[in-house]
Amino acid sequence: MQARGDTRGMRESFNTPMSRRHLLTLATGAAGSALVARMFPSSEVGAAEPAPVDMTRRPTEGITRSHRNAIVVLLAGAMSQMDSFDYKPDAPGEFRGPFTGVPTKTGNAVYSELFPKLAEMDDQYALLRAMTVTDSGVHSTAYRNWLQTPDGTHLVTALGRNARQIPYVNAVTPGVFPVFKSEHDSELELSQSIRIEWDEKQKGYIAQSVKITEGLTQERLNDRLSLRGQLDRSSFTNKQTQRVDALRDQALHILNGSALTVLNSMGSSNDKDREAFGDNPYGEIMEFAGRMADPDQGDTRLVVVEAGSFDHHWDVRGRMTEICPQLDQAVAELIRRYSDRVVIAMRGEYGRTPKLNSSWKEGPGRDHWPIHAGILAGPTVEPGTYGQTCKTCRNVTEGEITNKDFSQAFFQATGDIADRRSPLIKGA
């Protein structure tokens, strides 16, 4: 990629042939080049020769509105079910923990006092109160076991096949060790992504994987696409060059859409939106995630927000009190605004032990546990309370929801599988 300010291309003789790859780099600056580098790894360059790209054909043809975009709020580190959506007011103190409970609007459940806004609107989503996993020991393994379709296809791959614009955006809130970025889980992160992380110095979110060239407007980008379509391809026979060019074509199509507008407006929400979502990192990223996934705005197929961290082996009171009220307000507003057209899921990799531990000087916490709770919302999701646990959250007593059950419901809600019926989906 040519760095900003590099004038080598300008110094070339006009009699020297310039590859269209070089010309396109000069034309798009960092926008096309950085996004292509992130979206398509170098191992793909030199692969089988791609089919010719027709610049007059939008890549969204053949993809219908029945393929719904999705937002996954990943409760990184595994949030305690007892201290969130499966509070047990009659449990002994060493199980119940430091918080009190609030009844939900429907009266079907009791939440922790930390989630009053979501409790007030439980008639707008499905509460999954008895989710289970088979491995609650290692965070990365647990992620692997549920971030996939029932047939084993990874979440990002499955939804990215039917993307109309950007396939995948991954955002990370402050304090989270980004699981998708770790070397151990590198196979889980497809390169077809835009990654957004919190910058503590700037006190705001920064897009790490794509830098939009200053002054690159939609009109200028359209002009460059038109110029790009007029370039003669016939003299270029090198397969590696053709591969790079084809991938850059795809990147330009992604940038040539409303997602560019949403990306450029990140962190600049109005006062009304900041008040509704919360004027904090959780409110900011949920507001952005909603606009990015909205089919009438950014139209991104999948937005994953890694929120937390909830790996509270100690001091569950202090750490949950700091995070959860912000998360409660932001997710409640996200569901209120977008669940009529976007699938919204919130869950962790597993749960936390029902009984508090007492081995930490910082204060009691909870360790790993295979039972947990989560939320699923969307235009075809049937609101209600699903599953039941015993009075201490130790065991599931009714309606166990396995990873496979969750996947079937989620991917049926997004329109990516239709061969199975989940009781969480309307009309099942």
- Domains (ranges, CATH) in the chain? 18-47+215-229+239-256 (no CATH), 70-211+259-413 (3.40.720)
Residue 183, C-beta contacts closer than 8 angstroms, at least 6 positions apart? none
Q: How far, in Å, CA of 355 to CA of 38, rounded?
A: 44
In this structure, what token pair is assigned to residue 161?
């096949």
Q: What percent of the chain has pLDDT over 90?
A: 46
Contact of 181 with 38, CB cutoff 8 Å: no
Are residues 40 and 32 in contact, defined by beta-carbon separation less than 8 angstroms?
no
313-364 residue pLDDT tens: 999 999 999 999 999 999 999 999 999 999 999 999 999 999 999 877 789 9
Residues 6+ apart with CB under 8 A from 222: 256
pLDDT digits (tens, 9 = 90+) for 280-325: 999 999 999 999 999 999 899 999 999 988 999 999 999 999 999 9
Assess whether pLDDT exceeds 90 at residue 385: yes
Strands 343-347 and 126-132: unpaired
Phi, psi values for residue 67, rounded to 5°: -90, 100
Which pLDDT score is estimated for 242?
A: 57
Q: Which tokens belong to 278? A: 């919360």
pLDDT over threshold 60, residue 182: no
Region of poorest pLDDT, from 54-63, 148-157, 207-216, 282-291? 54-63
Q: Does the pLDDT of residue 185 top 80, yes or no? A: no
State the pLDDT at residue 324.
97
Contact partners, residue 107, CB within 8 Å, separation at least 6:
none
CB 295 within 8 A of CB 69: yes
Helix axes 239-255, 20-28, angle to 10 degrees: 30
Q: What is the mean pLDDT of residues 371-388?
A: 96
Residue 375, amino acid:
I
Quick one: pLDDT at residue 308? 87
Residue 332 phi, psi dihedral angles, 5° rounding: -60, -45
Mean pLDDT of 129-148: 81
Other CB atoms closer than 10 Å to residue 103's CB: what's the count? 15
* Predicted pLDDT at 166: 79
Mean of the per-residue pLDDT values of the chain: 77
Distance in angstroms (rounded) separating the CA atoms of residues 282 and 287:
8
Which H or E run includes 107?
A: none
Is the pLDDT assigned to residue 250 strictly greater than 60? no
Which residues, at least 6 apart from 43, have a Cβ–Cβ distance to it below 8 Å? none
| Amino acid 163: pLDDT | 82
Phi, psi of 229 (to 5 degrees): -70, -20
Average pLDDT over residues 221-234: 55
For residue 254, the model assigns a pLDDT of 54
Token pair, residue 234, equals 């016939």
Identify the pLDDT of residue 63. Answer: 47
Confidence (pLDDT) at 35? 46
Give the number of other CB atoms < 10 A from CB of residue 278.
21
Helix, strand, coil percentages, rounded to 5, for the chain: 35, 15, 50
Strands of 162-318, DSSP E: 168-172, 194-199, 204-207, 302-308
Please confirm whether the linkage preceding 309 is cis (ω < 30° from 0).
Answer: yes
